[in-house]
Amino acid sequence: MGVSFTFQFIRGLLLVIYYAPLRDSSFFWIDYLSREVWWGFCFRTFHLNGASFIFFFIYFHAFRGFLKFSFRLRHLWASGTTLILLFIITSFLGYVLPWGQMSLWAATVICSFITTIPVLGKFLLFWVWGGFLLRRSSLKFFFLLHFLMPFIILCIVIFHLLILHERGRTRIIFVHENFSKIWFSPYFWVKDLLFFLFFSIFFVLIFIFPWRIGDPENWIYANPNISPLHIQPEWYFLCAYAILRGIPSKLGGVLALCLRVVGLYFLSFYFYYTVPIKFIPHLSWAFMWSFWVLTWLGRCPVEVPFIFLRQFFSLIYFIFLFLFPVLIL
C-alpha cells in the first residue's frame, strides 16, 4: 500500500506538467497526453488504475484491522480512518478532472448532496461550483484540491506510522500464544511473494487491459444536456453508491454515506477493554462479505429485487459497524 501510494504520488506530479484545468480543453489535454506525449499513455493508465489498487489495499488493510481488533488503539485507528476519508475525497476530485461524460455527472450528483445542509446548503453549493452550474472555476477548484490533498495525506501517513511504532501493532486475536518473535519463514517471504504477485497483475492490467476498470462513458466529452443512461462510480465507490440508492430519501442517503465512514471513528470509543473471543473473526468476515456484496449491488439497476437486496445488506453493514463491539462483549 505504501509503495502504491508513493508511485501514485510521483505519477501525479508528472501528469500535472501536461494538464490544464480548463473546462473547454481539459478533455482534449488528456487525449493529447495519452497520444502525443512520450510515455504519456503509461503515465495516464498507471495513475488511473493505480487508484484502484490503492483502494484494494486500503480495504483489505481495514479488514485486517477489524480481524485483529485494531480499534482498541484509538489514535492509530482514528488516523487510519482519516486517511480513508482523504483518499475518498482525493479520488473523487481526480475522477472529475478528465471532464468526460461520467466525470461531469458524477460531480453534479455528489456536489448536489451539499444542498442537504440546512440553511447554508445552496450557498455552499454555489461557492463550490463558482456559479449556478459546473464551470471553469469549478474545475480549477477541484484541480487545486486534488493537487494539495496528497501532501496532506503524506503528512498523516507519517503520523500514522509514528503512532504505529510508538504503540505497536495488534495481533490476530484468536491466536492465544504469546511469542515475542516470529520466524522469517514462511511469514515474510510469503508477504514478499504476494507483493510481486499483485504488481505483476498490475502491470498486466496496465499493458494489456488498460481501460478495463474505467467507464467507457468517460471517453465522451462532457455534455450537460445529455445524462448517461446508467450513472455509476468507480468500483471502489460502489458500496457507498449501493447504500445511497437503497434509501429513497435524499437526506437519509447522505446521512448513511456519512455514517459509513464516520461510524468507523466511533468503534474505538465504544469500550476501553474487551476480552477477545473466538467468534470475532466470523463477525469480521461477515462484515467484509456484506461490503463486497454491496459493491456488486452498486452496479445493478434500480429495480426489484436489487432494491430490497441493497436495503437488506445495508442494514447488515450498519449492524456490524455499530453493534460489532457490543456483540463481542
Domains recognised in the chain with CATH numbers: 1-172+182-228 (1.20.810.10), 232-329 (no CATH)
Q: Half-sphere exposure of residue 228, counting CA atoms within 13 Å on the CB side?
A: 21
pLDDT category, 152, cuts 50, 70, 90?
A: very high
Q: Which residue has the higher pLDDT, 86 or 322?
A: 86
| Residue recorded with cell 503515465 | 43
Q: Report whether pLDDT(328) > 80.
A: no
Q: Is 195 exposed, middle or buried (0-12, 13-18, 19+ CB in 10 A)?
A: exposed
Total Cβ atoms within 10 A of residue 267: 22
Q: What is the per-residue pLDDT across 27-42, written as a single tens digit (0 to 9) for each?
A: 888 888 888 888 888 8
Q: What is the per-residue pLDDT across 269-313, written as a single tens digit (0 to 9) for each?
A: 665 444 445 556 667 777 788 888 999 988 888 888 888 899 888
Instruction: Please report the pLDDT score of residue 199 as a whole number.
Output: 81
Instruction: Please report the pLDDT score of residue 228 as a whole number.
Output: 80
Instruction: Please report the pLDDT score of residue 207 as a whole number.
Output: 85
In total, the chain counts a number of residues equal to 329
Instruction: Please report the pLDDT score of residue 169 as a whole number.
Output: 60
**Residue at 244: amino acid letter:** L
> Average pLDDT of the chain?
81
Instruction: Please report the pLDDT score of residue 163 as a whole number.
Output: 85
Q: Contact, 135 vs 145, CB < 8 A? A: no
What does the DSSP 8-state code read for residue 268? G
The answer to which of 148-152, 312-316, 317-321 has the lowest mean pLDDT is 317-321
Instruction: Please report the pLDDT score of residue 273 as a whole number.
Output: 46
3-state SS, residue 222:
coil
End-to-end CA, the chain: 32
Instruction: Please report the pLDDT score of residue 270 as a whole number.
Output: 60
